[in-house]
Structure 1
Amino acid sequence: MERLSLNNTHIWFDETLLKEKPELCFDIAFWQQKDAVLGSATGRGITWFVQTDTVPAALRHYRRGGLFGKLVKDSYLFAGWESTRAAEEFNLLHYLRDAGIAVPRPLAARAVREGLTYQADILVEKIDGARDLVGILTEETLTTAQYRAVGRLVRQLHDAGVCHTDLNIHNILLDNEGLFWLIDFDKCGRRDGDSWKAANLSRLQRSFNKEVGRFQIRWQPADWDALMQGYQGQ
């Protein structure tokens, strides 16, 4: 991992993955000039999908949610470069990759300071051909073996001491090779002990129940039992 400081800007990047100039890769106009924009997705903001010289990637600007986010859209209190949301997510993804957990590879992250606040962006690998569980379950069911695989993946995450604070089925992907992935680690981090793990699992279970009502996904309580069998190593 490399670091680059430019006036009020700090950039972290993986030189083995990012061959473009780090200071340019957070500007969508740069990718448009290269004719390298693959598409976009709209959520809290726009996530741009771009083709880098090495892998397809997702470019995301950090934005606030909730009521406060309507007042302050994308500024955060500065408390040091390594405490910025971009640096924390970038470093956490490296940690999880080193632990052998299926998460996207981080290419680069940037924080730009302005007085007491900062704005941030991150560029991570796009898992080519992968779809989230919501999209899949609106069309078909998963097998017991697949639910067990999801459970094993979550158990890996917990064994690494990481709590995914937004663990839901939008953030679990299945790729063309049958491998499950976890994405979107903004505001996530490492925690001590085990007391938080049950609540994290409950959050995931609520996500399944919620999407049954919203999108009529093909899911039933017995599927949760299969997921927990995988989590418990069965």
Structure 2
Amino acid sequence: MMMQEQIREEAGGTVLFDASRAPAVGADWFDPGYWRGRGALQTQGGGRGGVAVIDTLAGACVLRHYHRGGLIARFNRDSYLWTGAAHTRSFAEFRLLAHIASLELPAPAPLAARYRRHGLSYTADLITRRIDDARTLAQCLADHRLDADLARETGALVARFHREGIWHADLNAHNVLVTPQALYLIDFDRGALRKPAEAWRLANLARLRRSLVKLGAPERIPDFQAAIWGPLVYGYERTMGA
């Protein structure tokens, strides 16, 4: 289905949406209370992402409010410096996901994005289609389901994005989703299209490795380097060279 990008200005913010999937998206779509009142709020989680799962006319979706992380979050919870609509976190991620969808790469399809400007700052939200029956690579590790085959598939997944010049700003085991049918990358906040270069590709892989190490993979899996990381790199290199 060809995306039909539309923008709507409302008192509750500026909304960018895919009219081919949802012909009428308003600012109220970004309020979990709106979905709760309609009996369409499945779950609402905490954490930095402020994620809610909602039932929309376009199907089950994930609603995420952008929150800051790190030390700055102690003083500034969710505001970002205004530098123009196209540079807002939500609009940028929406359009990157739309590009990814046009390449038929496995990532959540974007449904709608919003920003609310407050003078020199703004807040932002994003709605994407939910990926069903999924668990993260981190959960697979914790459940002792990360093996050489899954590692190879993970490497191949990352390579497919890298071949198209897609850089993931936070490539870690929590942002790889595993379903019975396929693997997906999620959370492309601050992601970007980059010119082919070995340096950023290797840095991206190194970030993923640090994530697995931080989650205790070397302690959980005997000979982690040969049993998991070697197959992952093999799957990556084989796909990059295909």
Which category of TM-score, normalised to the shorter sequence, fits these structures? Answer: over 0.9
Q: Percent identity, aligned pairs only?
A: 35
- The structural deviation recorded for 1:11 is 0.9
Where does residue 60 of structure 1 map in the other structure? 64
SS at match of 1:89: helix
Where does residue 180 of structure 1 map in the other structure? 183
CA contact (8 A) 1:9 1:111 kept: yes
Question: Larger helix proportion, structure 1 or 2?
Answer: 2
Q: Does residue 213 of structure 2 align to residue 209 of structure 1?
A: yes
Q: Does residue 229 of structure 2 align to residue 224 of structure 1?
A: yes
SS at match of 1:196: helix
In the alignment, the residues of structure 2 paired with residue 90 and residue 125 of structure 1 have an alpha-carbon distance, to the nearest angstrom, of: 12
Q: Does residue 150 of structure 2 align to residue 146 of structure 1?
A: yes
- The structural deviation recorded for 1:117 is 0.8
| One-letter code aligned to 2:191 | C
SS at match of 2:30: coil
When the two structures are superposed, what TM-score results if normalisation uses the length of structure 2? 0.90
- Deviations along 1:51-80, one digit per CA (max 9) or x if unpaired, are 112221111111111111111111111111
CA RMSD of aligned residues (A): 1.9
- The structural deviation recorded for 1:17 is 2.2
Greater mean deviation of Cα atoms: 14-23 or 104-113: 14-23
Instruction: From 194, 208, 215, give the equivalent of 1:191.
Output: 194
- The structural deviation recorded for 1:176 is 2.9
Where does residue 91 of structure 2 map in the other structure? 87
Instruction: From 114, 117, 121, give the equivalent of 1:113.
Output: 117
- The structural deviation recorded for 1:140 is 2.4
SS at match of 1:18: coil
Misfit runs of 4+, over 3 Å: 216-219
What stretches of structure 2 of length at least 5 have no aligned partner? none
In the alignment, the residues of structure 2 paired with residue 29 and residue 18 of structure 1 have an alpha-carbon distance, to the nearest angstrom, of: 19
Instruction: From 70, 74, 83, give the equivalent of 1:70.
Output: 74
SS at match of 1:111: strand
Where does residue 169 of structure 1 map in the other structure? 173
When the two structures are superposed, what TM-score results if normalisation uses the length of structure 1? 0.92
- The structural deviation recorded for 1:22 is 2.5
- The structural deviation recorded for 1:197 is 0.9
| One-letter code aligned to 1:17 | R
What stretches of structure 1 of length at least 5 have no aligned partner? none
Matched length: 232
- CA 1:51 to 1:176, structure 2 compared with 1: closer, same or farther past 3 Å? farther
- Deviations along 1:202-226, one digit per CA (max 9) or x if unpaired, are 1111111111179x65472221111
